[in-house]
Amino acid sequence: MLKVEDLSVRYFTKKGVVYAVDNVSLEVRRGEALALVGESGSGKSTLGFAIMRMVPPPGRIVGGRIILEDRDIMGLSEEEMRKLRGSKVSMVFQDPFTTLDPLRRVNDIVAEVMIEHGVDEKEAKERAAYLLKRVGIPEKLVDAYPHQLSGGQKQRVAIAAAISMNPSLLIADEPTTALDVIVQRQIMDLLDEIRRDMGMILITHDIALALERADRICVMYAGKVMEVADKDMMMKEAMHPYTKGLLSSLPRLLSREWPSSIPGMPPDLREPPKGCRFHPRCSKAMDICREQTPDLFSVDGRLVSCWLYGR
Amino acid sequence: MGLARYIGVRTLLIIPTVMILYTLVFFILRILPGNPVLAVLGTKNIPEEQLRAIMERLGLNKPIHVQYFEYLANLLRGDMGVSLVIQGRPIAQDIIERLPATVELSISSIIVSLVLGVSFGYIAARRRGKIIDSSIRVLGSFLYTIFIPWFGMLLQIIFGIWLRLLPIGGRITPGIAPSGPTGFVLLDSLIQGNLYAFLDSLKYLILPSITLGIMLSGPYMRLARNNMIKALDSGFSLAYRARGIKEDKIVRYSLKHAMIPIVTYTGLQFALLLGGAVLTETTFSWPGIGTYLVEKVFYRDYPAIQAVVIVFAFFVGVISLIVDVIYAYIDPRIRY
Amino acid sequence: MSIRGNLFLISGIVIVASIIIISILADYIAPFSYDEVAGPPLSPPNGVNLMGTDNLGYDVWSRIVYGSRSVLFVVFASIILSAVIGIPLGLLSGYISGKLDKALSFIMDSIYAFPSLVLAITLAVVLGPSPVNAAIAIAIVYVPTYFRMVRGQVLSVKTEPFIEVNRALGLPLARMLFRHILPHVAPTIMVVFSLSSTDAVLTEAALSFLGLSVQPPTPDWGYELYKGKGFILSGAWWMVFFPGLMITLLAMGFALISEGLSKGEREAI
């Protein structure tokens, strides 16, 4: 339902051009949850914004195509794109404390999304009230102001607003990072339950969360895709050295080994490393890794961008 | 808590504020050197007993704390004493007669400054980073340095004398004033359906309110611009955009956010407004409390001066209350 | 410092310095004395009287030149007085805290909240009209400004370790305040100086406009404006335009300095 082809996003800052997203391709099928996993600076959030065509200046999409439900949205005007936002593709943000307008009632915030997209006002308000209750907001808080709600409740409101028009794709950018652990679980459960047959892109730095909640996982590093695989396959065994590093950094309850971390730091994206972006930190780096960027090779039903698996 | 209860609590707080200012004013006028009676009469040689008799009549002989409470008690009854200069004329009456004019001028000036300030600030926020943005910011920072009487007089010369478009002084063409219930000429003429008087008084109001309004608008430009930008850059605006809300609506919401500090500032700068009103009234011969104060100052009519200053103090308190209430209305976080 | 900050600062200094120079060299710059008949009364600007003459035939330009002395005197006297009273009080109050601080802050806040012009007028009336009294009146009105600024800075500097150390060493109060705390407060004071100078110019002009500062025939810009007001109807715009322009120019000069300084301070942070 969503196809991203060769997408590149760059930030043109005063201190240089940042290659935030470089020739990234991916796919999200109807109803599936794709996790976009990576460290800070991997480009995952930028990619999420790019799909909404909301990359903040000084950033810009410089190439590639984004096809949403058979429509290339790169060619759309800003006004046409605006109509899609909130109705066909929606976003839930990381920090619920700053993403709800404190001067408006929660019910109005949710209803407004529908009104903006053509729903009759009265109906929108009723539906908003229903949605709020559906996401777990108690009856008496439906007309409350955001500051009267807890963090978890605020995020529920944000989710209600995002799904109110039944978008085909829901992008959740670190939706639980700002919340405490118990609430995290509740919110993720809510997302699973409420999205039904909506596609979802779950952007997160937490690979454990991705393994738990997603159908497929896409690992990003330094603006490029490293590996894409089904959850089960990845849990059994990761192929890309980076993914292996991520997985082995997870503490395991029954294992004797300490979790290990990946040595080194992510690169400065104004001057990304030549060849494979991960090679400076890769224990298996070969000569070709330093020279040429590997394509995404299709191996055993998954995609890996690594010369270990290439021709 | 609800808006109503907040208003109630806030109103009660006026009392201590005004009391403090009353005390301050009272002591300023008495601690400083100089016998007020002598100052009025000129330092001629008056026989002791006569001087003492005058002072006794005015109650100036009693110990200070007695005077303090007596005056306060009288105030509460609405008696502000009598003028020293115009024999026996009750000051309170004068003040009540003059007050509406000043209020009219103040309100229209605030309206002018808000409209000017917010619209310029809005333009600067929308065209952020461009030349017009910097120009507006500079303008806003330096507008207050223009000497009010000078600006007012220039306007009088240009519009009143050279172009002969507008009158240069006074509040309404003599004789036309409606003897209305409120004392607010604009309101009274409307109430009586006297369109001619209404338009006429409007003509007189234009130059003074533009003068004062422009002088006060500077800070609003900055406030509006900075706070609108802050709102437009904030998380909730981002969220609005992600939901497909139209940009003009988002701009309107940002404006609402910007109004909070603007309203707060209006309350804080009310003191500035009163000072400016005094100068504006004097320049345009506007018959308000400002010109009353200046007249009394000229004649050294101390009781009247004291009364006026207390009235000013009271006003500062009341306005600050109104501001807080409006603030609570706009920002629900305050009252809940 | 940013370019714009520099620009403001320099232009402000140029303007204020020029006016100071004019006042010092008044005898050499002014073509006439300020109470000397220099032409027919109410003449518009011409070759002899660059800015015209007033109703008594005095040269407006000369009166402006000499008038700068009154203005500058009152302005500088008042801000120095304000600073001399307000700064030590602010230092003391902020450092000592407790009841003294509460009481002082309360008084200062009350004065601060009150319309400055009205207060200045009241004080000037009670003291009697003269430049010295005008300066005193303005000084009293602006003491709270210095007080609050300084006190605020002291409160934030107070918690620094080196203060604790000095206190533990038993440093006498005056030394502590002036040698150690004051230097940190100095940059803010400069900004407040320039800011309150702007206000002082405008307040002084207002007081003399109302007849509460210098008395005739001593020239003073505000007073010239007051005179000019009576002759607007006769078309003598030059009596109003030039004195008012000077007031605004001087005020703007100080404002430019304060904007330039505070931009510099902001950059430094």
Residue of B46 and C197 predicted with greater confidence: C197
Partners of residue B242 in chain A, C-beta under 8 Å: 52, 54, 85-86, 90-91, 93
Give residue C116's pLDDT band: very low, low, confident or very high (50, 70, 90): confident
Tell me the mean pLDDT in the region C264-268: 59
Residue of A130 and C181 predicted with greater confidence: A130
- Chain C touches chain A, with at least 3 Cβ pairs below 8 Å, answer no
Q: Which residues, in sequence order, are CB contacts of C53 under 8 Å at separation 6+?
A: C38, C39, C40, C41, C42, C43, C59, C60
For residue B71, being part of any structural domain is answered with no
| Residue in C118, C123, C232 closest to B312 by CB | C118
Task: Decide if pLDDT at B9 tops 60.
Answer: yes
For residue B300, being part of any structural domain is answered with yes
Tell me the mean pLDDT in the region C96-123: 83
For C183-231, what is each residue's pLDDT tens digit?
777 888 888 888 889 999 999 999 999 888 887 778 889 998 998 888 8
What is the chain B residue with the closest CA to A93? B239
| Neighbors of chain A with 3 or more C-beta pairs under 8 Å | B
For A54-101, what is each residue's pLDDT tens digit?
998 888 999 899 998 888 888 889 999 999 998 999 999 999 998 999
Task: Decide if pLDDT at C268 tops 70.
Answer: no
Residue of A76, A93, A103 to mutate, interface with B, max B Cβ within 10 Å: A103
Partners of A5 in the β-ladder = A65
> Are B236 and A162 an interchain contact pair (Cβ–Cβ within 8 Å)?
no
For residue B13, being part of any structural domain is answered with no
Range(s) of the domain holding residue B225: 92-330
| Residue in A93, A103, A116 closest to B239 by CB | A93
Task: Decide if pLDDT at B38 tops 90.
Answer: no
CB atoms within 10 A of CB B165: 11
Tell me the mean pLDDT in the region C6-18: 90
Residue of A163 and C215 predicted with greater confidence: A163
The class (CATH top level) of C1-266 is: mainly alpha
Residue of B37, B102, B137, B145 to mutate, interface with C, max C Cβ within 10 Å: B145
Intra-chain end-to-end CA distance of chain C, in Å: 11
Distance between A268 CA and the closest CA of chain B, angstroms: 26
Give residue B46's pLDDT band: very low, low, confident or very high (50, 70, 90): low
Give residue B36's pLDDT band: very low, low, confident or very high (50, 70, 90): low
> Are B297 and C111 an interchain contact pair (Cβ–Cβ within 8 Å)?
no
pTM for the full predicted model: 0.79
Give residue C88's pLDDT band: very low, low, confident or very high (50, 70, 90): confident
Task: Quote the CA–CA distance of A1 and A68 in Å, as a whole number.
Answer: 6
For residue B296, being part of any structural domain is answered with yes
What is the chain A residue with the closest CA to B254? A101
* Residue A126 confidence (pLDDT): 93
* Residue A311 confidence (pLDDT): 62
What is the chain B residue with the closest CA to C247? B147
Give residue C269's pLDDT band: very low, low, confident or very high (50, 70, 90): very low
Partners of residue C209 in chain B, C-beta under 8 Å: 149, 279, 282
For A25-45, what is each residue's pLDDT tens digit?
989 988 899 999 988 888 899
* Residue B335 confidence (pLDDT): 62
Give residue A130's pLDDT band: very low, low, confident or very high (50, 70, 90): very high
Residue of B281 and C169 predicted with greater confidence: B281
* Residue A82 confidence (pLDDT): 92
Task: Quote the number of domains for chain B.
Answer: 1
Average pLDDT over chain A reads 88
Average pLDDT over chain B reads 80
Average pLDDT over chain C reads 84
Q: Starting at the earlier edge strand, list the strands of the sheet with A16-28.
A: A16-28, A2-13, A59-68, A71-72
Task: Quote the CA–CA distance of C210 and C194 in Å, as a whole number.
Answer: 24
Distance between B313 CA and the closest CA of chain C, angstroms: 7
Distance between B200 CA and the closest CA of chain C, angstroms: 21
Partners of residue A174 in chain B, C-beta under 8 Å: none
| Residue in B146, B160, B297 closest to C210 by CB | B297
> Are C228 and B153 an interchain contact pair (Cβ–Cβ within 8 Å)?
yes
> Are C255 and B141 an interchain contact pair (Cβ–Cβ within 8 Å)?
yes
Tell me the mean pLDDT in the region A130-134: 91
The domain limits of chain C are 1-266
> Are B236 and A161 an interchain contact pair (Cβ–Cβ within 8 Å)?
no
Task: Decide if pLDDT at B24 tops 90.
Answer: no
Task: Decide if pLDDT at A111 tops 50.
Answer: yes
> Are C126 and B150 an interchain contact pair (Cβ–Cβ within 8 Å)?
no
Partners of residue B129 in chain C, C-beta under 8 Å: none
Judge contact between C202 and B126, C-beta under 8 A: no
Task: Decide if pLDDT at B33 tops 60.
Answer: no
* Residue A305 confidence (pLDDT): 85
Locus of tokens 């600006």: B151
| Residue in B241, B249, B333 closest to A102 by CB | B333
Give residue A156's pLDDT band: very low, low, confident or very high (50, 70, 90): very high
Task: Decide if pLDDT at B34 tops 80.
Answer: no
* Residue B45 confidence (pLDDT): 60
B12 at interface of A, judged by CB pairs closer than 8 A: no
| Residue in B146, B283, B309 closest to C122 by CB | B309
For residue B53, being part of any structural domain is answered with no
* Residue A71 confidence (pLDDT): 87
> Are C225 and B272 an interchain contact pair (Cβ–Cβ within 8 Å)?
no
In chain B, the percentage of residues whose pLDDT exceeds 90 is 26
Task: Decide if pLDDT at A110 tops 90.
Answer: yes
Residue of B245 and B61 predicted with greater confidence: B245
Partners of residue A104 in chain B, C-beta under 8 Å: 253
CATH number of B300's domain: 1.10.3720.10
For C35-70, what is each residue's pLDDT tens digit?
778 778 888 887 777 888 888 888 888 889 989 998
| Residue in C118, C128, C256 closest to B274 by CB | C118
For A195-214, what is each residue's pLDDT tens digit?
778 889 999 988 888 888 89
Partners of residue B293 in chain C, C-beta under 8 Å: 118, 121
Task: Decide if pLDDT at B43 tops 60.
Answer: no
- Chain C touches chain B, with at least 3 Cβ pairs below 8 Å, answer yes
Residue of C52 and B282 predicted with greater confidence: B282
Q: What is the 3-state secondary structure (H, E, C) of chain B?
A: CCHHHHHHHHHHCHHHHHHHHHHHHHHHHHHCCCCHHHHHHCCCCCCHHHHHHHHHHCCCCCCHHHHHHHHHHHHHCCCCCECCCCCCCEHHHHHHHHHHHHHHHHHHHHHHHHHHHHHHHHHHHHCCCCHHHHHHHHHHHHHHHCCHHHHHHHHHHHHHHHCCCCCCCCCCCCCCCCCCCCCCHHHHHHHCCCHHHHHHHHHHHHHHHHHHHHHHHHHHHHHHHHHHHHHHHCHHHHHHHHCCCCHHHHHHHHHHHHHHHHHHHHHHCHHHHHHHHHHHHHHHCCCCHHHHHHHHHHCCCHHHHHHHHHHHHHHHHHHHHHHHHHHHHHCHHHHC
Q: What is the 3-state secondary structure (H, E, C) of chain C?
A: CCHHHHHHHHHHHHHHHHHHHHHHCHHHHCCCCCCCECCCCCCCCCCCCCCCECCCCEEHHHHHHHHHHHHHHHHHHHHHHHHHHHHHHHHHHHHHCHHHHHHHHHHHHHHHHCCHHHHHHHHHHHHCCCHHHHHHHHHHHHHHHHHHHHHHHHHHHHCCHHHHHHHHCCCCHHHHHHHHHHHHHHHHHHHHHHHHHHHHHHHHHHHHHCCCCCCCCCCCHHHHHHHHHCCCCCCCHHHHHHHHHHHHHHHHHHHHHHHHHHHHHHHHC
Closest Cα partner for C24 from C59, C84, C92, C76? C76
Which of B310-314, B327-331, C114-118 is most confident?
C114-118
Task: Decide if pLDDT at C267 tops 60.
Answer: no
| Neighbors of chain B with 3 or more C-beta pairs under 8 Å | A, C
B332 at interface of A, judged by CB pairs closer than 8 A: yes
Residue of A136 and C264 predicted with greater confidence: A136
Q: Which residues, in sequence order, are CB contacts of C152 under 8 Å at separation 6+?
A: C94
Task: Decide if pLDDT at B51 tops 90.
Answer: no
In chain B, the percentage of residues whose pLDDT exceeds 70 is 79
Closest Cα partner for A116 from A94, A147, A140, A84? A84
Q: How many CB pairs under 8 A join B and C?
A: 129
For B147-203, what is each residue's pLDDT tens digit?
999 999 999 888 888 888 787 777 777 766 666 666 677 777 777 777 777 888 888
Task: Decide if pLDDT at B257 tops 50.
Answer: yes
| Neighbors of chain C with 3 or more C-beta pairs under 8 Å | B
B239 at interface of A, judged by CB pairs closer than 8 A: yes
Task: Decide if pLDDT at B32 tops 60.
Answer: no
For residue B285, being part of any structural domain is answered with yes
What is the chain B residue with the closest CA to A146? B333
Partners of residue C240 in chain B, C-beta under 8 Å: 150, 153-154, 157
Give residue B1's pLDDT band: very low, low, confident or very high (50, 70, 90): low
* Residue B44 confidence (pLDDT): 56
Q: Which residues, in sequence order, are CB contacts of A38 under 8 Å at separation 6+?
A: A44, A205, A219, A220, A221
* Residue A124 confidence (pLDDT): 92
Partners of residue B134 in chain C, C-beta under 8 Å: 4
Q: Which of A40-44, B109-113, B281-285, B310-314 has the lowest mean pLDDT?
A: B310-314
| Residue in A91, A97, A112 closest to B242 by CB | A91
For residue B183, being part of any structural domain is answered with yes
Residue of B20 and A266 predicted with greater confidence: A266
